Chains A and B, each alone.
Chain A
């Protein structure tokens, strides 16, 4: 409000324009170290977290359907707005020893549950294709890369879970995933 000379200042005005407005500022809303602030609308801000989960163990996947790792891969639970930036990182190795002629693609993706229901998809995954020519030597090499995806969500508590699959051309092939990290920048 605009203050006016000779107009009495009331407790109600101070409570609205001083107390209540200060409670809407960043220091008024700050609760969790390492968080940052995002606007959620006109004159409104929210505290958001940056979280990650990292698994150092390796998992083997042979399924062409999206599946959990055993033991489960990284999981992040975060309060988000309508968007988040998701980073997937991992060492991926496709063992073409088992493939006579062709290629196989390994996928590291994610599923969202909670406020949002979003199934894993090749479109939202880190992938690696290993090729082997007919009669060629088998190959198995491990590469480490990252993939970022800007995901649309329903605001609220959302759970991000790493998922895995391999798309095989040929009899069978194994995908190996190591040192997997899933990071969520909540917006």
Chain B
């Protein structure tokens, strides 16, 4: 049953079971403790007087893997990848270590593609982009508030390089859905 705006009780009126069921039972079923199902959930508004539990997710791939691709692509181990039920927004945090063996300084990029309810290709607009040359390593984090179509959305990290055999490692992905 949905939320009902709590009634104003009036002295002298008969209190009915229907009133208590609507004002107590059904409304209590709409509160956080009633909707909590698993640990690490948080609650967001999904409509007026409606809250929904969301789950923060984490995924990682430690392995160092190489690419020479100049357009966003998967590595030998795809991802990290997270599938989450979201509203129209999600705060996504992603990090990686990276280096290239090219003797010329090159720009290395890590981005996120979204599929499922939303289709958004990995792009420079939301990418972490850092320089490297001669195997000098760097490591950093990027965060972006994604606009989405509500529903089941899959977030996948993607990678590209401006030159050389480029390694990406310690790849981490966190999705905080709203």
* Interface of A toward B, CB cutoff 8 Å: 9-12, 14-15, 18-20, 22-23, 25-28, 30-37, 47, 50-52, 54, 56, 87, 89, 91, 141-146, 148, 179, 181, 183, 185
Cβ A22 vs Cβ B9 within 8 A: no
Cβ A144 vs Cβ B127 within 8 A: yes
Q: Which of A12, A31, A52, A144 contacts B142 (CB 8 A)?
A: A144
Q: Contacts A12-B11, A18-B23, A19-B23 given: A34-B48 contact, CB under 8 Å?
A: no
Cβ B140 vs Cβ A19 within 8 A: no
Cβ A34 vs Cβ B44 within 8 A: yes
Q: Contacts A15-B9, A33-B87, A145-B128 given: A89-B47 contact, CB under 8 Å?
A: no
**A23–B8 alpha-carbon span in the complex (Å):** 11
Asked if B32 is at the interface of the complex by the 8 Å CB criterion, the answer is: yes
Q: Which of A9, A35, A146 contacts B15 (CB 8 A)?
A: A9
Distance of A89 from chain B, by nearest CB (Å): 7
Beyond the given A89-B143, A145-B129, A145-B140, please list 15 additional residue pairs across the A-B interface where CB-CB is below 8 A: A11-B13, A15-B8, A19-B6, A22-B23, A25-B30, A26-B31, A27-B31, A34-B44, A35-B178, A47-B45, A87-B145, A145-B128, A179-B125, A183-B91, A183-B143
**A183–B146 alpha-carbon span in the complex (Å):** 11
Chain B residue numbers with a CB within 8 Å of A18 are 6, 9, 23-24
Distance of A49 from chain B, by nearest CB (Å): 9
Beta-carbon nearest neighbor of B30 in chain A: A27
Cβ B47 vs Cβ A33 within 8 A: yes
List, sorted by A's number, 14 A–B pairs whose CB atoms are closer than 8 Å.
Answer: A19-B7, A26-B45, A27-B49, A28-B6, A30-B45, A30-B49, A33-B87, A33-B88, A36-B178, A52-B145, A141-B107, A144-B142, A145-B130, A146-B142
Cβ A50 vs Cβ B89 within 8 A: yes
Cβ B44 vs Cβ A146 within 8 A: no
Chain B residue numbers with a CB within 8 Å of A14 are 9, 15
Q: Which of B11, B23, B43, B124 contacts A10 (CB 8 A)?
A: B11
Asked if B27 is at the interface of the complex by the 8 Å CB criterion, the answer is: yes
**A126–B129 alpha-carbon span in the complex (Å):** 14
Cβ B9 vs Cβ A27 within 8 A: no
**A152–B91 alpha-carbon span in the complex (Å):** 21
Distance of A78 from chain B, by nearest CB (Å): 12
Cβ A143 vs Cβ B131 within 8 A: yes
Asked if B169 is at the interface of the complex by the 8 Å CB criterion, the answer is: no
Chain B residue numbers with a CB within 8 Å of A181 are 144-145
Asked if B59 is at the interface of the complex by the 8 Å CB criterion, the answer is: no
Q: Which of A35, A36, A183 contacts B145 (CB 8 A)?
A: A183
Distance of A105 from chain B, by nearest CB (Å): 16
Q: Contacts A142-B129, A183-B145 given: A26-B9 contact, CB under 8 Å?
A: no
Cβ A50 vs Cβ B145 within 8 A: yes
Q: Which of B12, B42, B130, B144 contacts A89 (CB 8 A)?
A: B144
Chain A residue numbers with a CB within 8 Å of B27 are 22, 25, 27
**A141–B104 alpha-carbon span in the complex (Å):** 12
Cβ B131 vs Cβ A26 within 8 A: no
Chain A residue numbers with a CB within 8 Å of B105 are 141
